[in-house]
Chain A
Amino acid sequence: LAKTTQPISMDSYEGQEVNITCSHNNIATNDYITWYQQFPSQGPRFIIQGYKTKVTNEVASLFIPADRKSSTLSLPRVSLSDTAVYYCLVGDIGDSSYKLIFGSGTRLLVRP
C-alpha cells in the first residue's frame, strides 16, 4: 500500500482558498487518489477522487501532477463549516479486496 504524508494541521480564515498537499511517492500505476472529510463525532465523508491532472466537483478540486507523487486538495473560499479533518488515501479502485486505510489526516481550522 502506498504511504501518504500530509501536514498535521492547517489554519485559514473565512473566504480564503485552502490547499492541502499529500505526498505519495510510492503510488502504483493502478492507484487512484481519494480524499475524505471528517467532522467531529461523524464518520468520514468521501469528497473527491482522481487519477491524474485535475478533477473538480461542487465541493473541491483535486490537482495531480504528471508524476503523481503528490496531490493537492483545493477548497475554494472556505467557511467556518469547512473546519474538519481531511484524509488523503491512495489505492487501486479495481482491487476488490482493497483495505481502506486512513492515515492521520490534516486538521483544518477555519477562523472568522
Chain B
Amino acid sequence: DVKVTQSSRYLVKRTGEKVFLECVQDMDHENMFWYRQDPGLGLRLIYFSYDVKMKEKGDIPEGYSVSREKKERFSLILESASTSQTSMYLCASGPNTEAFFGQGTRLTVV
C-alpha cells in the first residue's frame, strides 16, 4: 500500500511563527503536491514538485514556500504564520493524475 505520511495531525502555532509541515511518501513518486482545504472553498493547490529541487506555484502560493531536497520528502513552510492560514493542509504524491493523499494536518494559528 502506498503511504503518504504527514508529520502532524493537529498543530497550533502563534502568529508570526515559522511553521514547517512535513510530508513523506514511500513509493518513489516524482510528483508531490501541497493543498489547503477550507469550508466552501474546496481544495486549493499551493505548490507542487515534479522532481527533486523542482517546484512550481499552484493557485495560492502567497505566504508559503516549499522544499524538496530528497525525492521522498516535500516540506511546506509558512514563513510567518497568520490567522488566515488556519486550515486543513493536505499533501499528496503520485504519478501525475493518480495521486495518493496523506491524512492531513489541521493547523490553527492563534
A contacts, CB < 8 Å to B? 32, 34, 41-46, 49, 87, 89, 91-105
Contacts and interface: CB of A to CB of B under 8 A. Distances in A.
B102 A102 contact: no
B43 interface: yes
For A41, A99, A104, the residue with the greatest tally of chain B CB atoms inside 10 Å of its CB is A99
Q: Which of B51, B96, B103 has the most C-beta atoms of chain A within 10 angstroms of its own C-beta? A: B96
B97 A89 contact: yes
Contacts of B97: 32, 34, 49, 89, 91, 93, 98, 100
Interface residues of B, number: 28
Contacts, number: 71
A93 B96 contact: yes
B103 A100 contact: no
Contact of A99 (B43, B58, B103): B58
